[in-house]
Structure 1
């Protein structure tokens, strides 16, 4: 069994910032393991690779590339979206490397740190620093405004070929932010432009993954939300809720149950127009809600254009999916996978 457990403090590896191939080359210098990309999935940030040990044994992995990982919730999202895949990223701190090991998220970074675990293989290297990081800043991901554009396209794929001004209106962002988002999304390979100027959407799965990771990491944490509880069980509350257009919509497990996805909700997520105090007041009275930080009921402020992105009485499917992934519950993962297939098929057919 290959068993390398290295803890290196404040060491540095000098190398030019590079894609997957050079990240694997640095890992080889660090550990002595030889890695080879077997298949690079076209226009996608992932593929398949093999790692060979000195004793001749080969270990096969899938991998996914993420530019920057610096929070635990990002690791949880990655684990839920890419089960068993090796994370390849810019540079992880020692603390984040420990989080990877705790959550069993395998990784290789551009400084030579890595965590790999398979039957017959255990490698853990942490503490190496990428000294090129200051010279070439890593992309920090899509802005919240760009993520709103992604969400709008997932909900109404046809708007991708509307004017920039109309896309901005539907996504509830500025004209400039919408234009910048389209440029970046095209650079990311999420759509191409034909000679006629028509935008052709590519890889719905990447659109959905991009939205989910961005929503859970950058949008949801900043939304106004309230944890509540009620003397009545969730099943009884669902029978008493009367969602009103543009005021209250079912999210998460409650939305999945409404869509007949064979899920008995254990939590109740409601997206509410919190800009109108009367909506929450009426809801609290009707459901006998009280504030409770450990409650199973969550009220979250509606953040999207409910006029143009309607999916009443639930939130749009891409948001249901993101909430199910964010729950990190094995109970919801099978439902999320099924919903993902539906969303991607819809986006592919409607774009």
Structure 2
């Protein structure tokens, strides 16, 4: 339709230089080139046990490989999507379309309350658990739906289609948008069910104008990823839902907004047990991580909920004014709209339209 604003999607340029994670030393770094990296991090790495030239070169190689992966990520994602669309045959087609029967009755009651004109944070808290520091939990999916999704994810893992890593820290999981979960399942979940809740719980963080998301599964298993280092998300609000399976350990810990990574085990942290079907909501910029899995296998669905009205002014990853870049195949939730297809100086404040 003529007259409608054309929306363009962007990433911040810091995606290619910031927040590289070195798992063996539990360190996030900035990488521009070898000289800068050596000058900024050699001493820090030595203090963390990276003491030989061979160890340092291994770290450099790891970082350079990740930098290369990021540079090629957009085209690689587009290539995977084309392959998946052509070759992948779902096992449970029904999980790709959201239905109320997939949602826990208590969650439906919570959403119904959030949509009333008289809803308040206090009225929502009668239907969910507050864990402190603006962290909330509630039953979201039914056990049957979780089982179907787990079987679908297992089917995806065993398919011949190429799969991308969920993010820079998790090696095992599925990028759900690439396999077609967005349109019928995740977008309606965000728009119709989560947004009325987050509008009340997180107004400062754009909870009432979440206009995009990134969703993926993460799997922790014996012999693979067992834990996850302390970090913050590329999100305004994060939803973390446990899908199952049988496991012990692996609690989610959440810290105050500005806590240092080294205080991850402090008494200020919130410890969240995982229960299949239950979701945890927290602010994306709260530092958090996963304690070590003791036994079994655990799979979670993560949604990074994003508000362009917030992130267009302040990138959550470099914490500065975003330097926006258009990269085909990549979308980190930044939005700029204009009437002629050109980048405008003013970003659209989606909250204004709510």
TM tier relative to shorter chain:
under 0.3
Rg larger in structure? 1
TM-score normalised per structure 1: 0.23
Structure with bigger helix share is 1
Structure number with higher relative contact order (C-alpha < 8 Å, ≥ 6 residues apart): 2
TM-score normalised per structure 2: 0.23
